[in-house]
Structure 1
Amino acid sequence: MRLACAAEELKKTYGSGDTAVPALRGVSAGFERGTFTAVMGPSGSGKSTLMHCLAGLDRVDSGQVLLGGVVISGLADRALTKVRRDRVGFVFQSFNLVPTLTALQNILLPLDLAGRRPDRDRLDLVVQALRIGDRLEHRPSELSGGQQQRVAVARALITEPDVLFADEPTGALDSTTATTLLSFLRRSCRELGQTIVMVTHDPMAASFADRALLLSDGLIVQEIHQPTPDLVLNAMRGLAA
């Protein structure tokens, strides 16, 4: 099994003393290359904390995070910043596109900031997979919400990250645009070999993933392979019961 990312007995607590809140209580999970995983759970279950720790955005109290074969949980800040830049892609609910740049310039921005030249074949592959070839010279204000989100996904994919992390990527989209985006994410796994970890509360969004991990009170309590909306919804209802 070739893992793009892994968590080993992760523990994370916010605050201290009487105000301490345990967010992760010994979470272990592996994420195979080229797979799409949805991370779900009620508010406060630890799903966003898990993603932030896996992506190197937040430090764990104990346990290990492996990203692309590198243990990142003990890295110094500068080394961790480099790992995030080179090995991680992010897609958030807000697109975070630079309004004065064209779609193409937005896509290439991470490479420009890292002083790297774009791989033309990779750029063509990503642009073709996301079907935005005819929008590259347009600025964000000239793009629909769905097109902006696809540009944001292309920007995350252009660096060939070990893992693409998506935080509620469909939360601000209508159902049709959300379905289109999720289809693109799924295609990036199939056609580009991309590994995706997506935090979502939406059972329909989770159904596009290869599996769903359900968290409750800082622990993974269920794993659903080939999730359907009904399977996920019933499992979520069980957590709320």
Structure 2
Amino acid sequence: MTQTAATSEESADPPAAAAVEDVRKIYGKGDSRVAALDGVSLAVPQGRLTAVMGPSGSGKSTLMHCMAGLDTVTSGRVLLGGTDLTGLTERALTRLRRDRVGFVFQAFNLVPTLTALENITLPADIAGRRPDRDWLDRVIDAVGLRDRLGHRPSELSGGQQQRVACARALAARPDIVFADEPTGNLDTASGRDVLGLLRDAAHLHGQTTVMVTHDPSAASYADLVVFLADGRVAGHLADPDADTILERMKSAGSPA
């Protein structure tokens, strides 16, 4: 990519849905001190699918947990839209996560006694809100499980369960969805279905999503890939393909 093209792309970037500014996350003290995040600054573009990659221990899951308000930072700022998470009480953080953030985890985290539909609407039910029926129908059709809505998780395949988890995250129309290795437990075909759903949610419906993954094929569905190494940002790659990601991973051993 030429410098002119890169400048043009950067000027067309959408506003940030979330950002971290010089964030550090330190675990332990003295000889056992570990810097999981060491001065990370990153802006997540609104309405895009962003993948975060890096070797084990690079800080990618810690970064996602801090951005989602699931963990606190040692220093720096975490912003969700115009809200600074670092100044919020635990009660306010809980409310923010409930109202503005969606989660998709590798382990699905479905309630076994509830049907697929009940799992999808659970966050709204807990918050005492009535789901937007039109949007809910669009999400259900997008995951392709309309004929399985009355089934419990044990009656669904792994891919179907993960699609229910994706629908649950999307149904409440959160400001941002965080997905932690969402295809890690899925076969190739099911993984493609879930990744296609997340990409379509971003491109067709403007749903901002951050996905942590170790898989170059999964990351190739993203609009932007952010590479971490040793708790620092080691580079970015826009509109990637799997081969380019793999090559970039090989040279991501030190921060850029």
Tell me which interval the TM-score lies in, with the shorter structure as reference length.
over 0.9
Aligned to 1:205: 218
Q: Deviation at 1:240?
A: 5.0
Choose the corresponding residue for 1:112, options 121, 125, 128: 125
Q: Deviation at 1:203?
A: 0.3
Q: Is the 8 A contact 1:91 1:164 kept in 2?
A: yes
Number of positions where the alignment pairs a residue of Structure 1 with one of Structure 2: 241
Q: Is the 8 A contact 1:87 1:163 kept in 2?
A: yes
Matched, 1:87 2:113: no
Normalising by structure 1, report the TM-score. 0.97
Amino acid at match of 1:53: C
Matched, 1:60 2:79: no
CA-to-aligned-CA distance 1:175-197 (integer Å, 9 cap, x gap): 11111110111011112210010
Counterparts of 1:147-162 in structure 2 under 5 Å? 147-162=160-175
Q: Secondary structure of the equivalent of 2:130? A: coil
Aligned to 1:192: 205
Q: Is the 8 A contact 2:234 2:253 kept in 1?
A: no
Counterparts of 1:1-241 in structure 2 under 5 Å? 1-240=14-253
Q: Deviation at 1:207?
A: 0.2
Q: Is the 8 A contact 1:211 1:224 kept in 2?
A: yes
The RMSD of aligned alpha carbons is 1.2
Would you identify which runs of 4 or more consecutive aligned residues in structure 1 move more than 3 Å? none
Q: Is the 8 A contact 1:68 1:87 kept in 2?
A: no
Q: Is the 8 A contact 2:229 2:253 kept in 1?
A: no
CA-to-aligned-CA distance 1:205-239 (integer Å, 9 cap, x gap): 00000011000011101100111111111111123
Identity of aligned residues (%): 60
Residue ranges of structure 1 left out of the alignment (5+ in a row): none
Q: For residues 121 and 192 of structure 1, what CA distance do their matches in structure 2 show?
A: 13
Normalising by structure 2, report the TM-score. 0.91
